[in-house]
Chains A and B, each alone.
Chain A
């Protein structure tokens, strides 16, 4: 705003004198062509010499601030006027929320114009004379250093900490033990693991319930090349511990031609080619289920561990360390698929005690 007085005090002549005061080395041209010539003289901007240009800048800044005000009013108007579920089509963004679009753009404009105004003001009207500021060493001078050291020694001596060994030892003891109470308090953050990671809801006689229909599965329901997910009979989505239980019990059911099964144990644990594997990846526990029905490979979407379901679900690619656990299944007297026991090994990611 105070642009009129800038040219006056920054005439090139004054500028040069100003620099001299800062000890610039512009003397030894002949001796050292690489010497620091010192700060170049200040050059005037158009706004510094032409009052009309300065007025134009002033008007631009004022316009930007005014646009900001209008945008803020538009923000409030949008907030009041636009229903929150209204969608509009904006090319090329697609069908989007009118409220989000209007609020965001008006807020963005209101904020941006304040910033643009301030910066334009600073760039065109405020002084752009470069000034040099002296630096001072960060480290203290030797006197200060000596004084601090002496003070510290005196203080330490007066405390008699070095002499009274008993005080020192007991104090250190007390300060070491006190934090323990804080650590002890963390004990109830959770129960101890025990054997919780080793057991799932599966048990002998539990039927396999289709997660799509919530009905028990029969072997004839499962076609070759199909993919089905199952949970243990009795588990309901509304159960309090559903999340924790399904995190271990989720099953993936596929049917293979029995002569395609390469692993003998897999064949023994299957029923007419229907095999049941844990859906939880043995790497870090993502629900693995990208089943390629022609290759019988199953891929994890998180880290791409790949398992061969026709060969005991052994790992054929990726970061998983061991095969997917298989659930031994059979049929009950009514012809429904049932588990013949729990998984024989822990499901999901490995852990230190897994063995």
Chain B
């Protein structure tokens, strides 16, 4: 008996001699070459800039979130929200960043000049920023990054950033080591891409073929940044470890207060909440509205909630005869009690949306718009007027030629909020004689059904967008883009085209505000979407973390200024 069991155990455990989850950088030649230089420069910088004698310095900060930082710190290939946050505020630097009001302010670029005709921006870089391996960050890094992200071979996922810029080597010129010029056509919000696209090290990535950047170890195994935190370790699907950068310029606040920052990946929300409540993590990124009260009730924790950039909508396929008439789409919106849905699904943590212009945007002023409110009576009248009546007494309206006012509303598998929306809409719309059938589809399949121009296999679809700071609906509603993936609604409205074109070239914000208002009025009339809500962003934060700023710019915006209450560590 003893022999049997021991044998069984031995053969089963034979494969697991090693420790799980070691440093992933260990054996890649690129990483092997790069990391010693980082170690050396960090040791030297620590000796040169000893940590100031201030109780705020020290400790390990732990943030927990459901997702991996997809594609890591390689800013040329990633779009994921948390990932870009880490590129912008943790490991790398952008030329500029935004103040809480959304105005550009210097970051890696100390200052900038815009040519009077708006075709050139000259960035003057800081001279005290170093890559974590000791090389100075200079204009050649900026030029390299610009050429890389505008080169079609890279397949930069945010290629639309550069629509109005001169792409490739002609678009950028190095004036001297710390001055770089970028060429563009004048257009609205032309500084915005430089807030988003982090600068990459030319001396490390300069000779990587651009179509190979996606498989390069830099991003996930050994990123060398120049930001406030130095990469130390990445255990995939488990954690990222960053350490304070002792060489971060004093003028930008010097080294961060915390010694170490750990980003933990915990895919299950209940587990995340438990880890926050048992103080194994300090910050829980984006808990569900159903978890908010538990966080509020715990005296050690604080619930942050603020308007954010994403919104949920029901997109209508106007190619379908039932949905072709804007009056029908307006009636559907008026037949849906969105305020009640926000209360029920988001427990009040959200605002009803009327267009896709979010709260942080300069043109956000819903009170100036002719909003469609819940009004089943008017919805019924509008449907009657459009010729949809219940002709056979089955409770569902028909048109004169017998088409039933019936359609499906698709949403993706495993999304409870969207399922709730679909089901509530089904029952509310039934009251005005409209038949909506919820239909659940796997995510990738759904995207293919709605995005493939030849297919557009949907009537209505519940989906969400994350708006960038520069809001641009051209891809969604401009008739020129009707054969592109995101023209879900199939909108063809000359007024919308004209206004979108005008907005995209208007640099002056007060002039642009008027255009935006006009555009939104037409959009509400057209109702290509039933805009649902802007959910508030929620975050659970342990009170031992001090000076945390979180707003529409993101959770990580001032992470270098956070410190841990000294009595808590």
A and B interact physically: no
- Please list the residues of chain B having a beta carbon within 8 angstroms of any beta carbon in chain A: none
- Please list the residues of chain A having a beta carbon within 8 angstroms of any beta carbon in chain B: none
